[in-house]
Amino acid sequence: MIGGGQLARMTHQSAIALGECLRVLAGSADEPAAQVSANVVIGAHDDLEALRTAAEGAVALTFDHEGVPLAHLQALEAEGVQVRPPSAALHFAQDKMAMRRRLSELGLPVPDFVDLSGDVPAAREALIAFGDAHDWQVVLKAVSGGYDGRGVWITSGRDDALAAFDANAGGDTILMAEEKVAMARELSAMVARSPFGQGAAWPVVETVQRKGQCAVVLAPAPGLSEESAQRAQQMSLQLADELGVIGNMAMELFETVDGELIVNELAMRPHNSGHWTMDGAVTSQFEQHLRAVLDYPLGDTSARSEVVVMANILGAEDAPAMSMDERLHHLFARMPDAKVHLYGKSERPDRKIGHVNIVGLPGATVDDVRERAERAATWMSTAVWTDGWDPHTAS
Amino acid sequence: MIGGGQLARMTHQSAIALGECLRVLAGSADEPAAQVSANVVIGAHDDLEALRTAAEGAVALTFDHEGVPLAHLQALEAEGVQVRPPSAALHFAQDKMAMRRRLSELGLPVPDFVDLSGDVPAAREALIAFGDAHDWQVVLKAVSGGYDGRGVWITSGRDDALAAFDANAGGDTILMAEEKVAMARELSAMVARSPFGQGAAWPVVETVQRKGQCAVVLAPAPGLSEESAQRAQQMSLQLADELGVIGNMAMELFETVDGELIVNELAMRPHNSGHWTMDGAVTSQFEQHLRAVLDYPLGDTSARSEVVVMANILGAEDAPAMSMDERLHHLFARMPDAKVHLYGKSERPDRKIGHVNIVGLPGATVDDVRERAERAATWMSTAVWTDGWDPHTAS
């Protein structure tokens, strides 16, 4: 697995059960996965020689992020490495313009978009025309390289949009713009697909974003109609098949105020919106990704409970004086059923350093389970024991 | 953790979630835990220097087997190492005579027993007197060092018992004899205890033994009365407290044909009878052992389902021509809900090389879940797809 982050770390846990040890290409020995795997290659993910070293003798090569240059993957494929997902599929997770174009061709619902990759004055004109046509409901995006809110500028009007364009155009960042969708909430439809072509979809979840990154996941998405859930799963399975994805794919969706589904982003790897599966589904997303990448038949994606909530533990603005270890003690004392997953990362503001899963008992309400998950995660982040998320006041 | 076997391997999986990496003292780099942990010390478990190296800088030292010489542990304790369970407790898991005597003192139900550690002729006389008094319903045991049926001789009468004694007495093996209990089945009452003194008990399970070792575990023990289950849990919690156990303790019990409970063996570590908790309980025995050893509050021991069955994957008499990998492919295709845990071990007859957990859906019967678990494990062992365990003909 290329990348030594928490996704590789948790994939290693699942590799162990399958009788394997995950080899990790990590930038340094203190990255989350490098801390725990017996098979670590130290090197950069954009260094072809390091990639070759990591791939040597491996059954397959896969990823914990989208950052590997496509040309390197094509070179490895030409040398016979089983790159999974293959570069031809991963391309669409790396390049948002290519993704938008392909999804449009396939008839999948996407927001209106405009290519701003041309020369700057012409691109600026194109943005102005696009903004005027969409009442300046505009999101500016970097075509590649963004994650967790980076590379996305949600603008508040014409001046703001043009300022964001002027600040970012003409450099290394290739830009595009999209129509800001009148959304009710965000969903994620995660699937896995094997080389054999088998597909499997987990229940569709609701993702709650804060500061541009995933904060909370509600599984399944509360109140989502059976019809919408099936539609989302079918779109995700269809797209994985059309693109030839191997491994996991998260299709992030907007549910509009009118109940329509619109595709937002794609990720082809284990994904934050699937962390709930570690404790809440028969097959975790990490085991499933391995099963897909290694061409095993896929596992049962059923939820183990009617409601499961995942809340990310984020680094606080001011790191608490109380140690993580002490916070964990208190959490375990208060919530013996909380399932905590820590990544071995130092604390920095808004950095994902772990997550908590709460699996609801029969009859538990989403609000109750969510309140407990958010309280646990807030405690682990800040060492403040709040009432957590309040369904009456918070979002 | 001293010992690089499958118990350490699976403990490492749980350590990762707690933000840790398990340091393992393994005999060689190809042992199950050494294959997967980033922190391995190679050395012998009976070499004090190797133990010191493994303990250096560690918060606590614990075990995946009972084989570490007590004197070494006492030496480490004198040097300030947090040995968990402490030598004073572990002694009773290492020495069956000491265990029997202590349990008798505490008023816990044990089979009649006799010390055969003295000089051989006197011990032989003691055995004859004991055998005559118990109608030659006699089990001969090595006082220490036995596991998975080794060091236990279930004898068929006077001649057989004396032959077993004559074959084993006078050497390094210290012997004892016990009354063979008229048992209906075997149970295991697993608990964990923290240094703080908190205790937590999982549901009592039935263990099905074959060739002297655990083959199948039914959780919870089918048809066990609430009263007996509570009695077993209370005995186990009480004993863990009396002995000052830190970490997991499995109390293996006989349920007699009269419905009485009699203590058979003790193990103070994660135990085969607790493997079902990995997929079937809110807190797995491996996470719990770490929580106890690291003095965290203990986790919720509730089962996630009304019935969970674990079946060991054992090396077959004749290793199948079909590879483990291919067997796994077929199993996954047939049973997408089977949770497989492989240990990275080579196949030898009756060697524990992995296990399968099946978590029953609501309403599933023990027989159905057991049949599926046994079929899966038999397939993985032998590459023969049988009807598995048949409740009408098999035991």
> What pLDDT digit, counting tens, does each position of A94-128 carry?
999 999 999 999 999 999 999 999 899 999 999 99
Beta strands in B228-273 (DSSP E): 247-256, 261-267
Pairing of strands B205-210, B213-219: antiparallel
Among B392, B349, B148, which residue's Cα sits nearest to residue B252?
B148
Cα–Cα dist A151/A142, whole Å: 5
**Six-digit token string for B257:** 């044909």
Q: What CA–CA distances, in Å, run from A1 to A7, A11, A83, A247, A293? A: 9, 9, 10, 12, 10
Q: Residues of chain B with pLDDT > 90: what percent?
A: 93
Cα–Cα dist A175/A169, whole Å: 7
| Confidence bin at B97 (pLDDT 50/70/90) | very high
Cα–Cα dist A336/A231, whole Å: 37
B36 contacts A21? CB cut-off 8 A: yes
Cα–Cα dist B281/B220, whole Å: 11
Query: Same domain for B271 and B360?
Result: yes
Query: Same domain for B173 and B243?
Result: no
> How many beta-carbon contacts under 8 Å exist across A and B?
112
Rg (CA), chain B: 21
**Six-digit token string for B231:** 């009695």
The confidence score (pLDDT) of residue A395 equals 52
Q: What is the H or E stretch that residue A53 is in?
A: helix A48-55
Mean pLDDT, residues B374-386 taken together: 94
The confidence score (pLDDT) of residue B391 equals 67
Is B186 flagged in the annotation as binding? Answer: yes
Please tell me which of the candidates B19, B36, B302 has its beta carbon nearest to residue A38. B36
Answer with the one of B65, B83, B101 that is the final residue of a domain.
Answer: B83
Q: Is B278 within a domain? A: yes
The alpha carbon of residue B234 is apart from the nearest alpha carbon of chain A, in Å, by 20
Pairing of strands B23-26, B39-42: parallel
CA closest to B359 among chain A residues: A282
Any chain A CB within 8 A of the CB of B324? Answer: yes
Site from A18, A36, A329 to mutate, B interface, most B CB atoms within 10 angstroms = A36
Q: What CA–CA distances, in Å, run from A262 to A128, A139, A182, B150, B312? A: 23, 15, 10, 63, 47
Any chain B CB within 8 A of the CB of A5? Answer: no
Query: Same domain for A335 and A197?
Result: yes
B283 contacts A336? CB cut-off 8 A: yes
CB A280 within 8 A of CB A212: no
Query: Same domain for B191 and B154?
Result: no
What are the φ/ψ torsions at residue B3 (nearest 5 degrees)?
110, 130
Domain that holds residue A41: 6-83
Answer with the one of A33, A65, A83 that is the final residue of a domain.
Answer: A83
The confidence score (pLDDT) of residue A393 equals 65
Q: What is the CATH number of the domain that holds A135?
A: 3.30.1490.20
Task: List all residues 6 or more positions away from B342 whose beta carbon is below 8 Å from its beta carbon.
Answer: A17, A18, A19, B313, B324, B328, B353, B354
CA closest to B8 among chain A residues: A16
Any chain B CB within 8 A of the CB of A355? Answer: no
* pLDDT tens for each residue of A36-87: 999 999 999 999 999 999 999 999 999 999 999 999 999 999 999 999 999 9
What are the φ/ψ torsions at residue A50 (nearest 5 degrees)?
-65, -40
Site from A16, A283, A331 to mutate, B interface, most B CB atoms within 10 angstroms = A16
B332 contacts A296? CB cut-off 8 A: yes
Query: Same domain for A321 and A249?
Result: yes
**Six-digit token string for A352:** 């994902």
**Six-digit token string for B61:** 């030292």
Query: Same domain for A360 and A230?
Result: yes
Any chain B CB within 8 A of the CB of A86? Answer: no
The confidence score (pLDDT) of residue B170 equals 87
CA closest to B40 among chain A residues: A38
Any chain A CB within 8 A of the CB of B145? Answer: no
**Six-digit token string for B60:** 């606590």
CB B24 within 8 A of CB B10: no
Is B345 flagged in the annotation as binding? Answer: no
A38 contacts B332? CB cut-off 8 A: no
A296 contacts B328? CB cut-off 8 A: yes
Query: Same domain for A172 and A196?
Result: no
What are the φ/ψ torsions at residue B142 (nearest 5 degrees)?
-75, 135
**Chain B residues near residue A342 by CB distance under 8 angstroms:** 17-19
Count of domains observed in chain B: 3
Any chain A CB within 8 A of the CB of B332? Answer: yes
CA closest to A284 among chain B residues: B339
Any chain B CB within 8 A of the CB of A40? Answer: yes
Answer with the one of B138, B154, B179 that is the final residue of a domain.
Answer: B179
B359 contacts A282? CB cut-off 8 A: yes
**Chain A residues near residue B17 by CB distance under 8 angstroms:** 13, 339-342
CB A360 within 8 A of CB A305: yes
Q: What CA–CA distances, in Å, run from B343 to A107, B312, B354? A: 46, 11, 5
Cis peptide before A220 (omega within 30 of 0): yes
Query: Same domain for A219 and A345?
Result: yes
Please tell me which of the candidates A36, A297, A298 has its beta carbon nearest to residue B16. A36
**Chain B residues near residue A332 by CB distance under 8 angstroms:** 291, 296-299
Query: Same domain for B175 and B264?
Result: no
The confidence score (pLDDT) of residue A118 equals 86
Any chain A CB within 8 A of the CB of B303? Answer: no
B18 contacts A342? CB cut-off 8 A: yes
What are the φ/ψ torsions at residue A328 (nearest 5 degrees)?
-65, -40
Any chain B CB within 8 A of the CB of A337? Answer: yes
Any chain B CB within 8 A of the CB of A385? Answer: no
Q: Is A205 within a domain? A: yes
CA closest to B356 among chain A residues: A17
Find the length of chain B. Answer: 395
Q: Is A100 within a domain? A: no
Q: Residues of chain B with pLDDT > 70: what percent?
A: 97
CB B319 within 8 A of CB B381: no
Query: Same domain for A239 and A270?
Result: yes
Any chain A CB within 8 A of the CB of B351? Answer: no
Handedness of CA A73, A78, A83, A88 (dihedral sign): positive
CA A180 to chain centroid, in Å, comes to 20
The confidence score (pLDDT) of residue A386 equals 81
Is A206 flagged in the annotation as binding? Answer: no
- What DSSP string describes A260-303? -EEEEEEE-S--GGGTTHHHHBSS-HHHHHHHHHTTPPPPP--B
Query: Same domain for A189 and A310?
Result: yes
Q: What is the CATH number of the domain that holds A343?
A: 3.30.470.20
pLDDT exceeds cutoff 60 at B227: yes
Q: Is A88 within a domain? A: no
Among B96, B100, B94, which residue's Cα sits nearest to residue B45?
B94
Q: Is B263 within a domain? A: yes
pLDDT in tens, chain A (395 residues): 999 999 999 999 999 999 999 999 999 999 999 999 999 999 999 999 999 999 999 999 999 999 999 999 999 999 999 999 999 999 999 999 999 999 999 999 999 999 999 899 999 999 999 999 999 999 999 998 877 778 899 999 999 999 999 999 988 889 999 999 999 999 999 999 999 999 999 999 999 999 889 999 999 999 999 999 999 999 999 999 999 999 999 999 999 999 999 999 999 999 999 999 999 999 999 999 999 999 999 999 999 999 999 999 999 999 899 999 999 999 999 999 999 999 999 999 999 999 999 999 999 999 999 999 999 999 999 999 886 676 666 55
The alpha carbon of residue B264 is apart from the nearest alpha carbon of chain A, in Å, by 30
Cα–Cα dist A105/A111, whole Å: 13
Q: Is B102 within a domain? A: no
B344 contacts A297? CB cut-off 8 A: no
Query: Same domain for A125 and A213?
Result: no
Pairing of strands A39-42, B138-142: unpaired
Q: Is A393 within a domain? A: no
Any chain B CB within 8 A of the CB of A304? Answer: yes
Q: Is A225 within a domain? A: yes
Cis peptide before B320 (omega within 30 of 0): no
Q: What is the CATH number of the domain that holds B23?
A: 3.40.50.20
| Confidence bin at B394 (pLDDT 50/70/90) | low
Cα–Cα dist A165/A126, whole Å: 11
Please tell me which of the candidates A10, A333, A343 has its beta carbon nearest to residue B297. A333
